[in-house]
Amino acid sequence: MAIFLAIKLDGKKLSQKIAGQLQQRVTKLKARGVSPKLAVILIGDDPASQIYVRNKRRMAKKIGIETSDLRLPVATSEEKLLQIIAELNNDVTVHGILVQLPLPPQINEETIIQAIDPLKDVDGFHPFNMGKLFMGAPYAIPCTPNGIMQLLAEYRIPLAGKKVVIVGRSNIVGRPLAALMINHNATVTVAHSYTKNLFELTRRADILVAAVGKAELFSQTAIKSGAVVIDVGINRNAAGKLVGDIDQIKVADIASYLTPVPGGVGPMTIAMLMKQTVDFAERSVK
């Protein structure tokens, strides 16, 4: 069996390169009197959402994108949230709207996602955008899957004809990533909690994407020698350390490429959110 020392798929580095490109586009937009603006709504105190909000504010500032962060109490009603979304939809100075998920139980996620103007839907979660994506003609692309695709492209990792196994079928990651991979001619399998003999399946993958939210679930026995491994998980282990769904140390010895946690998929998600906002702002003046 060949021994690999996985090459790091450096999301932090690529996200900084993308930020530099976006900065130039924002400068041009501002010269034309358009200041790209992203509105973020955060309800409650989901830990992953807190990290996301903090890091995206930082990157937006660096690029020159305006942000308005609205923090609402966990008891906020659906009616109130719908009213805020309607105001943002009608505000011509706002180019992108993002409502942090998950939402508290009194608010229906589907109702909220459908209320966002699809042309301002930076997450790409609206049925219009999901439908376009699944038909192979995307308008807005969900940020985490888009970030994964950009990272694979940067490292020239071919997708056509490759066996891709995605573990996790969320609307945020698994489902839209499957659509993108199909659009790039990969052969895609989506596994989930009902999948039988999970590791037998993942061991056949040329490219494995782990998006289940279970700390270090996948180790050497789950992975083919030389596989490309993408770790989407953000979990806390028993010691309170941020860890992915992949046992990074063990898998680094057999994978050909591996995304670290942190510094892999997370920063790419944010870079794609920024890119989507700038794309929307440019489309608003074209």
Ligand X SMILES: Nc1nc(=O)c2c([nH]1)NC[C@@H]1CN(c3ccc(C(=O)N[C@@H](CCC(=O)O)C(=O)O)cc3)C=[N+]21
Chain residues binding Mg ion by CB under 5 A are 143-144, 269
H or E segment and range at residue 28: helix 11-31
Contact partner at residue 213 from Mg ion, ligand X, none, CB < 5 to 8 Å by partner kind: none
Where are the extended beta strands (E) located within the chain? 7-8, 37-43, 66-72, 96-99, 163-167, 187-191, 207-210, 228-231, 235-236, 242-243, 257-258
Footprint (CB under 6 A) of ligand X, residues 150-189: 172
- Single out the catalytic residue among 10, 37, 56, 120: 56
**Residue nearer to ligand X on the CB measure, 55 or 89:** 55
CB 266, min distance to ligand X, A: 2
The piece of 83-91, 94-102, 191-199, 215-223 that touches ligand X (CB under 6 A) is 94-102
| Residue 191 CB neighbours (<10 A) | 22
CB 102, min distance to ligand X, A: 7
What's the CA gap between 12 and 261, in Å, rounded?
10
* Burial status of residue 239 (CB atoms within 10 A of its CB: 0-12, 13-18, 19 or more): exposed
Identify whether 45 is a catalytic site residue: no
- Is 234 labelled a binding residue? yes
Query: Can you tell me which residue has the tokens 């069996």?
Result: 1
- Single out the catalytic residue among 123, 231, 245, 279: 123
- Is 284 labelled a binding residue? no
Identify whether 23 is a catalytic site residue: no
**Residue nearer to ligand X on the CB measure, 52 or 257:** 52
Footprint (CB under 6 A) of ligand X, residues 15-74: 48-49, 51-52, 55
Helix axes 265-283, 47-63, angle to 10 degrees: 50
Identify whether 224 is a catalytic site residue: no
* C-alpha 62 chain-centroid distance: 20
**Residue nearer to Mg ion on the CB measure, 55 or 195:** 55
Contact between 269 and 232 under an 8 Å Cβ cutoff? The reply is: no
Distances (CA, A) of 208 to 47, 134, 145, 257: 26, 21, 13, 10
DSSP classification of residue 197: S
- Is 170 labelled a binding residue? yes
- Is 18 labelled a binding residue? no
Q: Does 84 bind ligand X (CB under 6 A)?
A: no
Residues placed in the known binding site: 168-170, 234
- Binding residues for ligand X, per CB under 6 A? 48-49, 51-52, 55, 98-101, 123, 143-144, 172, 234, 242, 261-263, 266-267, 269-270
Catalytic residues: 56, 100, 123
